[in-house]
Amino acid sequence: MVILGIETSCDETSAAVVKDAQQVLSQVIASSLKQHAAYGGVIPEIASRAHLGSITYVVDQAMQEAHVGPGQIDAVAVTQGPGLIGSLLVGISFAKALGRGWAKPVIGVNHVKAHLYAAFIEEPPIYPFVGLVVSGGHTSLYKVKKFGSEDVIGSTRDDAAGEAFDKVAKILGLGYPGGPIIEKLAQSGRKDAFRFRCDCSGLDFSFSGIKTAVLYKAQELKKLYGPLSQETTADLCASFQDAVVGDLVAKAMKAVASCGARALVVGGGVAYNNYLRGRLSQAVRPGSVKLCVAPKPYCLDNAAMVASFAARLPRIQRTCGSVRLDPLLG
């Protein structure tokens, strides 16, 4: 089965062609990130306009690189939420137009669940597993017994992890997006220079407090010593990153133990972070459970995960007839 995937939930316009859920024939991404950098975050109106300007080219390029035509596509999959409503509507409208013009079914895909299964684009799923989706907008733990049975067992009570990285980067005057900048600076910093922690019980997350702690510490240091030095900034980044990653890893492993999972599956934009990937590898003991982290090309928002997830849906596997989007969006 060959599926064209379309992703426009935030600032990336992406299209991909995926065969049988695990063979990515093509993936094209156009990002409007540079247009948002000056504002320190994604501006919804700019994002939706960028999608309008890119989507035709991106879809056409994905089809060309996959060497397929409309007749070889079995279905069109599109992110239907969560995300920025203006951005989502661009992708949904385009997908529905293709479905109508090509007489193909159109499948709405949940963005977060697509991230959850992105680790299985290149390998078969392992059930039961605990899934950690960690991105700019979401930080959640899932207990997954089988496909279609994804139960939330932990989530953020305020900021998502990626959002906290962006806000801390803004506090330190580092620019946007914050994740890559903080990761780079943290490499030369001391993770034990400052004592930060994430306070939240159980399997839930909270990153608003640590963001505020960094703010107060930065203000204190500036009052005492003047502008932050590069060394001090690196130490703040390293200490902050270590605390956030430590919390993510500890709670993921706690969930694995309590659920009797065979695998720990990790996806989302923050899963691109090498420090997180390294700490996860250290935490998972060989022979206990399998660690499945989404390959880097499928961590950030992308259409391959959308198409791959759609291909696993039972309704697609049963029929090639018309498949409706969510009624609210259809």
CA 239, CA 47: separation in Å to the nearest integer? Answer: 32
Backbone angles phi, psi at 65, to 5 degrees: -65, -30
CA 37, CA 261: separation in Å to the nearest integer? Answer: 40
Cβ contact 34:52 at 8 Å: no
pLDDT confidence of residue 316? 59
Cβ contact 305:271 at 8 Å: no
pLDDT confidence of residue 315? 60
305-323, pLDDT tens digit by residue? 999 999 999 865 444 444 4
pLDDT confidence of residue 150? 96
For the chain, the average pLDDT equals 93
Q: Is the pLDDT of residue 183 over 50?
A: yes
98-134, pLDDT tens digit by residue? 999 999 999 999 999 999 999 999 889 999 999 999 9
pTM: 0.92
CA 317, CA 296: separation in Å to the nearest integer? Answer: 28
